[in-house]
Chain A
């Protein structure tokens, strides 16, 4: 067998190109779906930096999604800050809170880490829910403006696209950049150290790695990218609500990661896409989506703990093994 002949198909680049064509399908619905998927895929991949790569089970990742969303939305609507600055502020604010909360969280281990992340996330939720004068409280913070996208008309091909389509292209480029950055992080020596910590924290400590500091760095990074996703989602959704930071949202993104498979970089993105499409299809027929989601989750936990990607790659490996034998 000559592995060098197995050239790798650049799936990610192909997917990006395919996704870039969506606005020209001419359907508002497809653009809507694709935007939703792109943003939540980033959210899920950011969580996987903790879950899959560092071995930290955060049950409060929605907090940073919510902080990013509120920060960006409030700056853009209340203070008229341009999108680019508001987005950066949203990411920075999410990272800052992740640094503060993470400092305490990484001192706990296992289930206690999960509980502490959940506790902090619920505080964020409670503040968003109650701080009427700034966040709009229970009613949420709506009518967030789109960023100015007139400059896009000057570009070839983009002239005359609907604003939803234009915003989708912005989201696609930004999330694309975020994915490249995240992939570099996990492939870097830093990412390798995180994996070492996941596999065996004691041994990592033994060889001189400051485990808590690395965990904290991962936590802040994951928080920053969650804030990135949140900021985009708030604008896409045209409104930010306390639910963004609620524990059900944290659970939802965990399910996306598990569904796609946390053992692979793109697993969570696949999970996000599948879950969103399923949700769209199923809620058209029944109001009992939670029941179906719970059932999917149970089947997954018991029968396919590796998720979609894990199950597929195990299957492919088995087929290849049979062929080579």
Chain B
């Protein structure tokens, strides 16, 4: 096993982990505050990817066009999330978990078909942004600049979110809502608005992840289901609602997937599912999650 191979595997694991973190952090934020496990999060990711492609088609190629498409699609997905939360999901708060789960599952079914109607079933690709299209070589391993960018973006985003949550008034409100929403509402805070905001923020992250992934993976139907299962594993390993737990979960997931291929060829998906079940058995609330309240 050569050094270059190890390096290549860990870099690819790290890149996958950061993509996953961007998406899964949104899932975790939504669960942390709204207590809704959003199956449709993967659909938002897929719509982010398709929207980025669509915007890239409309505006053409120029310096910075890729970034415009990425931000535009993330905002579009956030708006869609806001509309869904306001018009529909809102009415299911306080009902049993089952209804919320099935509602988000219904969205998966509907949005999947909507994407099929709008964009067909052929693979679509977006080219890498002009500034990051190159790559460099280290120990015989070729690493594209774009992957390096993603590896840097993940922690940057994590720190930004963490600062937002721990240092700002809105962040304090969000943490309070995650801790005890009735009390927060009783203190006069507009919890409804906060929920909409959080759902939009979570959807934004899903859309952002989907848009950023387009230069690396082609856009295909079914990417919604693939990512939701992965993001789900990540947040469960890290602890649902725990921000740094999601980061840790993504790192573990990426490396297990990258190196699981060496230990159990063809069984790396099995390895991550087994890891998830193991974590849940040993620590039901995840590695860094708060213990479950009854």
Flag if A119 contacts B236 (CB, 8 Å): yes
Task: Report how far A291 CA is from B112 CA in the complex, Å.
Answer: 8
Flag if B277 contacts A123 (CB, 8 Å): yes
Flag if B280 contacts A104 (CB, 8 Å): yes
The smallest C-beta distance from B40 to any residue of chain A, in angstroms, reads: 10
Task: Report how far A255 CA is from B109 CA in the complex, Å.
Answer: 12
A-B contact count (CB 8 A): 110
Flag if A130 contacts B267 (CB, 8 Å): yes
Flag if B106 contacts A298 (CB, 8 Å): yes
Task: Report how far A258 CA is from B277 CA in the complex, Å.
Answer: 27
Determine if A64 is an interface residue (Cβ-Cβ < 8 Å).
no
Task: Tell whether A51 pairs with B98 under 8 Å between CB atoms, given A108-B284, A290-B113, A302-B91.
Answer: yes
Contact of A251 (CB < 8 Å), options: B105, B117, B270, B276 = B105
Contact of B97 (CB < 8 Å), options: A110, A126, A297 = A110
Determine if B269 is an interface residue (Cβ-Cβ < 8 Å).
yes
Task: Tell whether A126 pairs with B269 under 8 Å between CB atoms, given A112-B284, A290-B110, A294-B106.
Answer: yes
List residues 107-123 of chain A with CB under 8 A from any CB of chain B.
Answer: 107-112, 114-116, 118-120, 122-123
Count of chain A residues with Cβ under 8 Å from any Cβ of B?
A: 40
Determine if B59 is an interface residue (Cβ-Cβ < 8 Å).
no
Task: Report how far A302 CA is from B280 CA in the complex, Å.
Answer: 32
Determine if A305 is an interface residue (Cβ-Cβ < 8 Å).
yes
The smallest C-beta distance from A288 to any residue of chain B, in angstroms, reads: 5
Flag if A57 contacts B98 (CB, 8 Å): yes
Task: Report how far A294 CA is from B277 CA in the complex, Å.
Answer: 29
Task: Tell whether A130 pairs with B266 under 8 Å between CB atoms, given A109-B294, A255-B102, A295-B110.
Answer: yes
Q: Which of A108, A111, A123, A288 has the most CB of B within 10 A?
A: A111
Determine if B103 is an interface residue (Cβ-Cβ < 8 Å).
yes
Q: Which of B98, B113, B114, B116 has the most CB of A within 10 A?
A: B98
Sort chain B's interface into a size bin.
35 or more
Q: Please encode chain A, from 83 to 111, with 1 for each CB lying within 8 Å of some chain B CB and 0 for all others.
A: 00000000000000000000010011111
The smallest C-beta distance from B266 to any residue of chain A, in angstroms, reads: 6
Which residues in A have their C-beta under 8 angstroms from that of B274? Answer: 123
Task: Report how far A107 CA is from B282 CA in the complex, Å.
Answer: 11
Flag if B273 contacts A122 (CB, 8 Å): yes
Which residues in A have their C-beta under 8 angstroms from that of B266? Answer: 130
Dominant SS among interface residues on chain B: helix
Q: Please encode chain B, from 250 to 294, with 1 for each CB lying within 8 Å of some chain A CB and 0 for all others.
A: 000000000000000011011001101100110011000000101
Flag if A291 contacts B292 (CB, 8 Å): no
Task: Report how far A196 CA is from B114 CA in the complex, Å.
Answer: 43
Which residues in A have their C-beta under 8 angstroms from that of B92? Answer: 301
Task: Report how far A15 CA is from B95 CA in the complex, Å.
Answer: 34
The smallest C-beta distance from A117 to any residue of chain B, in angstroms, reads: 10
The smallest C-beta distance from B258 to any residue of chain A, in angstroms, reads: 17
Flag if B280 contacts A115 (CB, 8 Å): yes
The smallest C-beta distance from A310 to any residue of chain B, in angstroms, reads: 13
Flag if A114 contacts B97 (CB, 8 Å): yes
| The 5 A-B residue pairs with the shortest CB-CB distance in the complex, in nearest-first order | A294-B109, A291-B113, A294-B110, A297-B106, A290-B109
| Apart from A258-B102, A294-B113: 14 A-B pairs, beta carbons within 8 A | A108-B280, A114-B37, A122-B273, A251-B102, A254-B98, A288-B116, A288-B117, A293-B109, A294-B106, A294-B107, A294-B109, A297-B103, A297-B106, A301-B102
Q: Which residues of B contact A (CB under 8 A)?
A: 35, 37, 88, 91-92, 95-99, 101-103, 105-110, 112-114, 116-117, 225, 229, 232-233, 236, 240, 266-267, 269-270, 273-274, 276-277, 280-281, 284-285, 292, 294
Q: Supply 10 A–B pairs (Cβ within 8 Å), ascending by A.
A: A51-B98, A57-B98, A57-B101, A111-B101, A114-B101, A126-B273, A130-B266, A290-B109, A291-B110, A297-B105
